[in-house]
Amino acid sequence: MPHVLFMDESGDHNLASIDNNFPAFCLVGCIFEREYYKHTVRPAVDEFKNKFWSRTDVVLHSSEIRKHRGPFSFLGNETDRQGFYDALNRLIENLNFTILAVVILKKAHLDHYGDGARHPYHLSLEFIMERYSMMMNRKSRDAEGYMMAESRGLNEDKLLKNEYFNLKKFGTRYQPNLGNISSFRMEKKTANIAGLQIADLVAYPVAAKVLRPNTGQKSFDVVIGKLDKAPTNKGGGVLGYGLKVFPQPTFEHFTAFGSPKQ
């Protein structure tokens, strides 16, 4: 059955100036079976929007939600905010999809590799594509899927597409053949793509949990069960499968995710 992976990020890819309050880049891919996405996911997202705005052209944007900006200004009211978050968590929880997430710890990446440190977005794309292809191989030999990412500007989009085509041509160290990934598209946020909005909503909780693993986060509790897992004969853990943290941090860091190994 065909799949579609929607990809969005949290944090920036800048290694020259690292924000100490959020020193990470997180890229997330949310994977849906294509027909399920068309017939279930899009209507569910529209229903959610109609409930709060009586229209469907509002774009769900994690940063604006957290800051109560624009169409989310009503979230300044505590009662309204709680009702909104409860409904949003139910929406995400009830949808059937798989998450692949990569978190680049930028300072550690730069300290370890220096001038050879790779662009965080491009490195994350490699990890995502590798795991997407492997996941589909585990499902079926005939499984295939395409990818969609949010457009980030003319030059950045060109560089990212070049990275995609290089990976398609040469593969990766652990997945030399990415032939089951059929295509890659980019769309602007204003296109109001439900899958891209879900990826945007998922990315921040994952990054925040990696950065602050001992802090309770209800939004992460909602998404952790959707992270891709290792087969049961390999422990069934998410690390190295649904969640890639790079460079690998300490043992203590991993206890929040149920496994000391990546």
Q: What is the pLDDT of residue 260?
A: 44
Q: Choose between 126 and 237: higher pLDDT.
A: 126
Q: Omega of the bond prior to 247 within 30 degrees of 0, cis?
A: yes
Query: Residue 182 in contact with residue 133, Cβ under 8 Å?
Result: no
Q: What is the pLDDT of residue 261?
A: 45
Indicate whether 150 pLDDT > 90: yes
CA distances from 222 to 155, 195, 216 (A): 35, 17, 12
Query: Residue 236 in contact with residue 229, Cβ under 8 Å?
Result: yes
- Ordered structural domains, the chain, with CATH: 3-257 (3.30.420.10)
Residue found under tokens 């891209």: 196
Cα–Cα dist 151/154, whole Å? 8
Query: Residue 105 in contact with residue 247, Cβ under 8 Å?
Result: yes
Cα–Cα dist 219/12, whole Å? 21
| Average pLDDT across the chain, whole number | 92
Indicate whether 254 pLDDT > 80: no
Percent of the chain with pLDDT over 70: 95
Q: Count of CB atoms within 10 A of residue 205's CB? A: 23
Cα–Cα dist 214/205, whole Å? 13
Report pLDDT digits (tens) over 15-29. 988 999 999 999 999
Q: Residue range 149-164: average pLDDT?
A: 94
Query: Which one, of 31, 26, 13, 242, lies nearest residue 147 by Cα?
Result: 31
Query: Residue 114 in contact with residue 151, Cβ under 8 Å?
Result: no
Rounded to two decimals, the pTM is 0.93
Query: Which one, of 31, 25, 149, lies nearest residue 95 by Cα?
Result: 31
Tell me how long the chain is.
262
Q: Choose between 129 and 143: higher pLDDT.
A: 129
Query: Residue 208 in contact with residue 63, Cβ under 8 Å?
Result: no
